[in-house]
Structure 1
Amino acid sequence: MTKVISHVGFSTTARAGDLATLEDSIRRIVDLGADVAELALFGEDLIAGGRIIESRAKRLVEICAKFDIRYSVHGLIVSNFMDAAHLDWQKAVAKAMLELCRRIGADVLVQHSGQMPIGPRPMRERYDALEREALSEIADIAGKAGVRVALENIFAVADTEYRQTPSEVAETVRAVNHPALVGLIDFSHGYIETTRIGADFRAEIRAMAPVAGHLHVHDSFGRPYTMSKFYYTSEAIALGIGDLHMPLGWGDLPFDAIFDEIDPLPGTALIMEIGERFEAERADCLAKARDLAERVNRRFAADAA
């Protein structure tokens, strides 16, 4: 039986280009019994000026070959196909990331959706068109490498910043209409953004789900960045402000209700972006995430029967 959510796992923790700690991070995920590790290659110094650093890439391949686990890759946090001034550099890095995916057998590359100053509607339409053209080009390359590009919904940190809502990210994926491009729902990001603009969070997630082939799960309270300076991450957690990447159940995201009403694409991965600072909680999070996946899979099986 084809599963809608077919594998569940965690993202690795990037520590300033230290590939030895990447190996340890993968090992921890394997030891938890996860199905997939999403590699935070944005923080591993594998690409310089759009070119792969071959000696470090060779080490990456050697590390990944040690483990019997599925891989996906997270591209640059600052990835932005709306930014015309840096678009060639952005595309060069995305292409290099796809080549790294090919070498290690990763089947998904995470690409953040774009952002620019908000501007009038015609300007926002130009941003969207620029992003769609770039995504089409990158998806062509991804398809040949056996990789899907997963376009992730993000949140704005100020009213002067243009970001697409989850339903608008879905519109972008549909407009590009490429088999190697899917949506990536980050539930916490969607919660923060819909709170910020006063939109219906659950409706936005439902609108994105039919094009989603990748999920990022971590908890928060959906509170926008009304404060931006914290001396410790624990202070932001204590106040419940921002994109906290907390264990499931620490925030108030209604995951059970959400997973009872979304229908992502078959073969979707559920990745928990819950780092090693919460090592003691991750086994419990894995059990909860598997239950969420089974809620979707059981419903899909019942509908197909």
Structure 2
Amino acid sequence: MIHASHSKGRQAMNNIIAAGFSSGSVDGELESLQGDLRRLSDLGVDTVELGLTSVDLIAGGRVIKERAERLEALTREFAFRYTVHGLVSSNFMDPAIAGYQLEAAKALVQICDRIGAGVIVQHGGHLRGGQLFERAEANRREREALFELAEFARPYGVRIALENIFSTEPGQYRQTPAEVAETVKAVDHPNLVALIDFSHAYIESTYRGLNFREQIRAMAPVAGHLHVHDSFGRPQAFYQAFYPQEATALGIGDLHMPLGWGDIEWEDLFSELTFLPDTVLIMEIGPRYRNEQAECLKRAQGLMLLNGGRTIAAAE
């Protein structure tokens, strides 16, 4: 998307090139994914992040050919720009499963190539509280795996987007958002970028007593992918809701609410931060909020325009 720079009479590129929603199968079959994609298309969405591990496409690190062909045919029914969310359980820090994780991630990159997806999301790793002796090598292990995956993805033209995640259990070892940015810098590969999940960063900052804005500022210069959904930045701790709506009522946890339902100051953030070129904004706001998605899309497009003005000003 191009925006004019009126002050100097020239044009500059908005570093955020697209905004859309995440989507996945609700029953492990492609038909339910197809139904949600059709609904998003009817809504006027042009960009979708596919949660492909909600469908059986890979077995033991190998692509299931027949399933991949069906997925490829399905995606061609729509004119979306696609990105892919990799394993939600992805974890390159754990020595017991890191090798299996890498095989599955490489298979997902191959599927990205089949459907024309230029980004695959990889969650930052973690160790359980009891894995004390693995911690010294955890960051090195993750960085080596990320470099290998990025090298594998290079000929396919796929970016690996390393996402910041919040702590999910007491004593867990996990990187802060700023440390995720340092990992991306240390790997220093053109096919690896950071992914800012704003709500995750908010929750982790609350949990650790960190400054949320400072953590986000540290990630922005190496961020090439964004996950946007609202919350109040309140860690879930030991609270268990009976219905998901009860967590929303209390404002506790990773709520994935429509923009404006929480207290993240979106316009303020996007008027300040500058991201990498070719950044994609994905709203992880699912069909539970189908009636709010149209308004969320308008607001996200407004954030793109706002950030585009910021990008132009920063370049001058």
* Structure 2 runs not aligned, ≥5 long: 1-11
Match of 1:190 among 192, 201, 210: 201
Task: Give the Cα separation in 2 of the matches to 1:104 and 1:10.
Answer: 17
Please give the per-residue CA displacement for 1:71-127, whole angstroms capped at 9, x wherever unaligned. 000001100000111111101100110000000000000000000035799853410
Aligned to 2:265: 254
Q: Residues 274 and 310 of structure 2 are in contact (CA less than 8 Å); yes or no, is this contact kept in structure 1?
A: no
Aligned residues, how many? 305
Task: Give the Cα separation in 2 of the matches to 1:199 and 1:67.
Answer: 42
Aligned to 1:266: 277
Secondary structure of the residue aligned to 2:225 is strand
Aligned to 1:172: 183
Aligned to 1:243: 254
Query: Are 1:74 and 2:90 counterparts?
Result: no
Q: Residues 13 and 276 of structure 1 are in contact (CA less than 8 Å); yes or no, is this contact kept in structure 2?
A: no
Root-mean-square deviation (CA, aligned residues, Å) is 1.5
* TM-score, length basis structure 1: 0.97
Task: Give the Cα separation in 1 of the matches to 2:13 and 2:132.
Answer: 42
Q: Residues 230 and 236 of structure 1 are in contact (CA less than 8 Å); yes or no, is this contact kept in structure 2?
A: yes
Task: Give the Cα separation in 2 of the matches to 1:132 and 1:178.
Answer: 11
Aligned to 1:230: 241
Task: Give the Cα separation in 1 of the matches to 2:99 and 2:138.
Answer: 15
Secondary structure of the residue aligned to 1:111 is strand
Aligned to 2:71: 60
Task: Give the Cα separation in 2 of the matches to 1:270 and 1:125.
Answer: 34
Secondary structure of the residue aligned to 2:272 is coil
Aligned to 2:223: 212
Q: Residues 110 and 151 of structure 1 are in contact (CA less than 8 Å); yes or no, is this contact kept in structure 2?
A: yes
Query: Are 1:291 and 2:295 counterparts?
Result: no
Task: Give the Cα separation in 1 of the matches to 2:134 and 2:268.
Answer: 37
Q: One-letter code of the match for 2:258?
A: P
Q: One-letter code of the match for 2:96?
A: A
Aligned to 2:163: 152
Moved more, 201-210 or 19-28: 19-28
Aligned to 1:129: 140
Please give the per-residue CA displacement for 1:160-197, whole angstroms capped at 9, x wherever unaligned. 10111110000000000000000000000000000000
Closer, same or farther in 2 for the Cα pair 1:291/1:110, shift >3 Å?
same
Q: Residues 216 and 273 of structure 1 are in contact (CA less than 8 Å); yes or no, is this contact kept in structure 2?
A: yes
In the TM superposition, what is the alpha-carbon distance from 1:225 to its structure 2 partner? 1.3
Same amino acid, percent of matched pairs: 53
Task: Give the Cα separation in 2 of the matches to 1:18 and 1:198.
Answer: 42
* Structure 1 runs not aligned, ≥5 long: none
Moved more, 232-241 or 25-34: 25-34
Please give the per-residue CA displacement for 1:35-78, whole angstroms capped at 9, x wherever unaligned. 31000101111111111111111110000011111000000110
> Any runs of at least 4 consecutive aligned residues in structure 1 with deviations exceeding 4 A, and if so which?
118-123
Q: Residues 118 and 124 of structure 1 are in contact (CA less than 8 Å); yes or no, is this contact kept in structure 2?
A: no
Aligned to 1:15: 26
Q: Residues 114 and 131 of structure 1 are in contact (CA less than 8 Å); yes or no, is this contact kept in structure 2?
A: yes
Q: Residues 227 and 241 of structure 1 are in contact (CA less than 8 Å); yes or no, is this contact kept in structure 2?
A: no
Query: Are 1:101 and 2:112 counterparts?
Result: yes
Query: Are 1:89 and 2:89 counterparts?
Result: no
Query: Are 1:139 and 2:150 counterparts?
Result: yes
* TM-score, length basis structure 2: 0.93
In the TM superposition, what is the alpha-carbon distance from 1:27 to its structure 2 partner? 1.7
Query: Are 1:27 and 2:75 counterparts?
Result: no
Secondary structure of the residue aligned to 2:195 is strand
In the TM superposition, what is the alpha-carbon distance from 1:28 to its structure 2 partner? 1.9
Task: Give the Cα separation in 1 of the matches to 2:244 and 2:194.
Answer: 29
Secondary structure of the residue aligned to 1:269 is strand
Q: One-letter code of the match for 2:215?
A: E
Task: Give the Cα separation in 2 of the matches to 1:303 and 1:153.
Answer: 25
